[in-house]
Structure 1
Amino acid sequence: MKSNKQLTKKIVSGKFKNTVLKLPSKITTRSSKSIVLESFFNTIQFDIIDATFVEVFSGSGSIGLEALSRGANNIIFMEKDKDVIKVLKENISKTDASACEIFSGDSFENIKAVISTLKKNNQIAYFYIDPPFSIREGMEDIYDKMLLLIKSIPTELSNLIIIEHMTGLEIPQNIGNYKKKKSKKFGNTTLTYLDANVE
């Protein structure tokens, strides 16, 4: 018999600590591992205070909401799946909805609108990009599209770009005006950090 138990995770730290977030079904999204998130937030813990944070392919929004809990000012979520967006909205409502904005639809198309919003509001953002694994049907070219998305982000609007990806995927040393700063492996998952290629 199939279990219909609702998958959840808690916000780990900050003003919304222990808030229970719903996770969409595992079929449509992957939840980032706790160890990956812990490492990431330890890396940028003080830099994120009062910052703008963009979560591309946001799913449940757990990374963006963790950033909000830890002191980020504005969170932009980008998600395509309508059912997942319902869960995302529910999770946002448990925190500070006034600090959050959702761009629904194809992230590869919506990145232009997000860039326009950042420009208009004079914001420099952290971009967390966690694309669906390319082994999923219809997602074969997801990483090529992701590289184009990164290239399209003006360096003056980006504090740092973080990619959560399969460990087997080799991220190029240079992507447009960005260069690979470091990569950290967690079993099958790797976090790669990119910053502006400034000499």
Structure 2
Amino acid sequence: MSKQSHHQLRIIGGEWRSRRLRFPAIDGLRPTLDRVRETLFNWLQHDIEGARVLDAFAGSGALGFEALSRGAKEVIFLEKNPKAAIQLKENLQTLGAGNAQVWAGDALVWLDQNPEPYDLVFLDPPFGKELLQPALDRLTLLPGALVYVEHESNLTPVFPAHWDEYRCKSTKEFCFRLFTVGEAATEASE
């Protein structure tokens, strides 16, 4: 396999700090930038240790690997592209990470079939594919959970009313936001 068929990402903190992992060159696969990950994990620094994490639309796995490196209890990676899913499994094996799983399939199908709640969810779907809103609509989360969302700047997703935006930054190309999940409103009984 040629060196040009794989790219690398660097884990920026925790147990595997500075470790480099490969990911395949796939159209549309864009790992979360180092500076964005650094900001995100500064926001999350007290919430990663022992967390159950879902990395939906994992791609390179940059966010999930960063969470594992910083003490997450468990990470589930969802990735539809077979090459990317295989590379995620290989990277987990390289790191000796027994507390993570890769589900090679459609994240929306997985969310429909697995409504279990997580402490932290990363939602960074491929841009231009209209996947964010359907994913948001399928998430089942308990109060206190955290949700990281990365999306195109020109997109205006509808977030659940009981999610509170904790942090937000944006560039010309994309926004990244961190939400805390509050109590869902219940319908008044008649």
Same fold (TM over 0.5): yes
Is 1:194 aligned to 2:188, yes or no? no
RMSD: 2.3
TM-score normalised per structure 2: 0.85
Q: CA deviation at 1:187?
A: 4.3
What is the CA–CA distance in structure 2 between the aligned matches of 1:99 and 1:165, rounded to whole Å? Answer: 28
Distance in 2 between the 1:66 and 1:28 partners?
21
Alignment partners' CA distance in 1, 2:74 and 2:27: 29
Aligned residue pair count: 183
1:35-184 alignment, distance < 5 Å: 35-116=35-116, 118=117, 124-134=118-128, 139=129, 141-149=130-138, 152-156=139-143, 159-172=145-158, 174-175=159-160, 177-184=162-169
* Structure 2 residue runs without a partner (length 5+): 186-190
Three-state SS of the structure 2 residue aligned to 1:72 is coil
- State the Cα deviation string for residues 49-98 of structure 1 (Å, max 9, x = none): 11111101001212101111111111110111111111111111122331
Moved over 6 A (4+): none
- Report Cα offsets for 1:80-131 as digits up to 9, x if no partner: 1111111111111122331101122110010134434x5xxxxx42000001
After superposition, the Cα gap between the structure-2 partners of 1:95 and 1:177, relative to the gap in structure 1 and judged at 3 Å, is same
Q: How far, CA to CA, are the matches of 2:113 and 2:103 in structure 1?
A: 8
Q: Secondary structure at the match of 2:140?
A: coil
Cα displacement (A) at 1:31: 1.2
With structure 1 as the length reference, what TM-score do the two structures score? 0.81
Q: 1:92 is aligned with what amino acid? A: L
